[in-house]
Structures are given as C-alpha cells and as structure tokens.
Amino acid sequence: MMPFRISVPASSANLGPGFDSMGLALGLYIHLDVEDSDQPAFFAHGSTESEENHFIWNISEQVAKRYGVTLPPCKVQETSEIPLARGLGSSASAIVAGIELANQLGNLQLTDDQKLAFGTEIEGHPDNIAPALFGGLTISTMLEDDIPSAQLNDIELDLIAYIPKVELKTEVARDCLPDTYERNYAARASAMSNLIVAALYSKDYVLFGKMLENDLFHEPFRKELISNFDVIREKAKAFGAFGTALSGAGSTMLSFVPKGNGSTVKEKMVTQLEGYQVKLLEIDTKGVSVSQNR
C-alpha cells in the first residue's frame, strides 16, 4: 500500500445564509505523503523536525482508538496550500486528512457516513467537513443519529478569494454571534437560505448573489471584525460579481463571478486591495482522495 498520498481540499462554509450547513470545496489542498518507516515520524508543513503531538496525527490516533486498532509506524510529510484561520476550512481539511490517514493505515474501510460523523463530532458542524470529504457544494445538517448531506457539483461560476494577512480563529468569530434569534427574524433568515439553494439549483445566479449578500444569521454580527467588508463587496459588485460573502467565519471574503470573467474581475480587484492575496480559485469536485502515484 505504501507509499501513498492523501489530498484534501479547502472549503468555504456558509455562503451567506447557509450558516453551519452549506460549504463549497475549493482547489487548494493539504497533502499527506505517507511512506513505510520503522520510526514513526510526522513532519508538519515546512518543518524538518518530527512532531509527536501533531493535530492531524492526534486525529488519526483518536479514530484508531475508536475502532480498536493500532496504527503501524510510518513517516508522514504534510504540505499545505490552505492558509490557517482565514475562513478556508483549514481545520476541517486537517481533520478529514487525519481520518483518512487512520482509515488507510488501519485498513478500517470507513464509510462516507462514518467519516462525516467523526469529522463533524470533532469540528462541531458539518459545513466544512462535508465538502472536504465529497467535493462540490454540500448542504448538510446534524440529526440525532445521522448527518444528512446533499451535493451539487454543477456550479457555473468563477470564484475570487480575498485573503488578508490577519488570522481570525473560528472560535473567536463564533463568540460574536447571538445565542438566540427572535422568531420573525429567524423566519426571514431561513427564507434567505431556502432561496439561495433554489437559486443555485435553478442556476439563477443573480438571485443567488442577492441572497448571498442578505445573510441574517452571522454576517451582520461579524462584519465589524472584518476590515474592508463593505468596500470589497461594493467594488466586486461594481466590477461585475454576482455577490460576495464572508468565507466561513472570515477573515477571507469570496466573490462569485460570471463564468469566464474571473480573471478580469480579479485583476481589477488586485488594484483596489493592498496587502491581500487575491486568488482565482477552482471548485474542487472530488473531495478527499488517495493516490498511489506521487
């Protein structure tokens, strides 16, 4: 089996009103290159020193313990294109990588449902875990003993991410949210989520962009934490984007642009945003993958 490579995509959760349920897999990846070794060793991204208590290895060990197996010694080299704590789902991608590593090393033959359940248990919500596992746009939620999830791959949009230097931990951005929403407010907020899904399925991207920018669940409470929130949204709209939302809990923002116009809009946005990485991103449609060839 060894050597093998596990690749997991990044993801953008929420898409405005799809708070805690919608997520889109992105073409930025974390890779684990795994090979045989007598001495167990885990090399984190950019490090030449083996770490015993690495986040991903800890996840793998938790999975192994749950299923009563001991993982064989091996050497794991992590490389990642996903910036940490910017709302691009780095923690969920790392969790999925850890689950898949245990799955492969322990020959556990975990089902998709088992991986989704375990990942969601650790992350607390399924909106990044599901796209990291399955690719595309996923909508999922937590029932008592099940995590139903639907997938949509047929999205004809270009994506532009504005990634600032500043990190924002999801935990901190969740602390800004209200504990409860009043009934009429919640009904309006969930109507936006229903409409955004209908707009995506019917490919009405003008309506999609409108709903994307009308979230009531989280963005009104988080936007104060995000520099240039309104500026980015307004400029992107003026240059032709359908809409722009906070990616996950932030700090990145993500624009959805008519297919084929991405690079033109990106070039214009670059001139407006100093200190940001402005990136044209692909949608990943595969989710986590394991390959023998490197």
Ligand X SMILES: Nc1ncnc2c1ncn2[C@@H]1O[C@H](COP(=O)(O)OP(=O)(O)O)[C@@H](O)[C@H]1O
Q: Residue 169 binds which one of ligand LJ64HWYM, ligand X, none, with CB within 5 to 8 A depending on kind?
A: ligand X
Residue 80 as a binder of ligand X (CB under 6 A): the answer is yes
Residue 248 as a binder of ligand LJ64HWYM (CB under 6 A): the answer is yes
- In the bound state with ligand LJ64HWYM, the residue whose beta carbon lies nearer, of 74 and 163, is 163
Nearest to 255 by CA among 277, 280, 273, 223: 280
By CB under 6 A, the residues from 116 to 155 that bind ligand X are: none
Indicate which single residue of 9, 87, 98, 135 sits in contact with ligand X (rule: CB under 6 A): 87
Nearest to 56 by CA among 76, 26, 71, 70: 76
Between CA 190 and CA 52 the distance in angstroms is 44
Residue 251 as a binder of ligand LJ64HWYM (CB under 6 A): the answer is no
Close Cβ partners of 30 (under 8 Å, ≥ 6 residues apart): 7, 8, 10, 78, 79, 80, 81, 82, 90, 93, 94, 97
Q: Residue 174 binds which one of ligand X, ligand LJ64HWYM, none, with CB within 5 to 8 A depending on kind?
A: ligand LJ64HWYM
Q: Residue 125 binds which one of ligand X, ligand LJ64HWYM, none, with CB within 5 to 8 A depending on kind?
A: ligand LJ64HWYM
- In the bound state with ligand X, the residue whose beta carbon lies nearer, of 57 and 205, is 57
Between CA 96 and CA 6 the distance in angstroms is 10
Q: How many residues bind ligand X (CB under 6 A)?
A: 16
Residue 23 as a binder of ligand X (CB under 6 A): the answer is no
x-marked contacts with ligand LJ64HWYM along 193-232 as a string, rule CB under 6 A: -------------------------x--------------
Q: Which residues bind ligand X (CB under 6 A)?
A: 30, 55-56, 80, 84-91, 94, 169-170, 248
